[in-house]
A = this chain, B = another copy of it.
């Protein structure tokens, strides 16, 4: 058998990142289900809480996601009345996305779930280790996106 081209994949950072990430996504999905949200929607809301009235393309850029992804998520958020689309005076192509009252109100519940998840998920690590992990992931993030976070104007 032509074995032993065998890498020990399980010991590479990539492998572990992939595994931890999907487990984490499931956990996030479960936590956010408690407040009737899906995992992806939460990230969109975060951007709007920071700066309401963004265009879809802006949200996409800030989250490092593609416009069609955002478009679909927004449809979901509009359906559950957390967000509205309003057309822009001066550019008939684009629309601005605004939080509804309900959209603003979701902030508290999401924050609570987020912290709970963070605590739960990172419970295997000491405080110091969590900080180290945060630092390392932060640097990978910057290395890969080329920016820590989009310059708020």
- Identify the A interface with B (CB < 8 A): 1-3, 5-7, 9-14, 16-25, 27-28, 43, 46, 49-50, 64-65, 104-105, 107-108, 111, 114-115, 117-118, 121-125, 129-130, 132-134, 136-145, 148-149
Contact with A64, one of B9, B23, B140, B144 (Cβ below 8 angstroms): B23
- Interfacial chain B residues near A6, Cβ < 8 Å: 49-50, 107, 111
CA distance A79 to B14 in the complex (A): 27
Copies in the complex: 2
Contact with A20, one of B27, B43, B140 (Cβ below 8 angstroms): B140
- Interfacial chain B residues near A117, Cβ < 8 Å: 14
- Interfacial chain B residues near A144, Cβ < 8 Å: 20, 23, 27, 121, 124
In the complex, the answer to whether A143 meets B114 with C-beta atoms within 8 Å is no
A-B contact pairs, 12 of them (CB 8 A): A6-B49, A13-B134, A13-B137, A14-B121, A18-B21, A18-B25, A20-B141, A20-B144, A23-B141, A27-B144, A122-B140, A124-B139
- Interfacial chain B residues near A138, Cβ < 8 Å: 11, 16
How close is A111's CB to chain B, nearest CB, in angstroms?
5
How close is A127's CB to chain B, nearest CB, in angstroms?
11
- Interfacial chain B residues near A17, Cβ < 8 Å: 20-21, 24, 137
How close is A49's CB to chain B, nearest CB, in angstroms?
7
Chain B residue nearest in CB terms to A7: B111
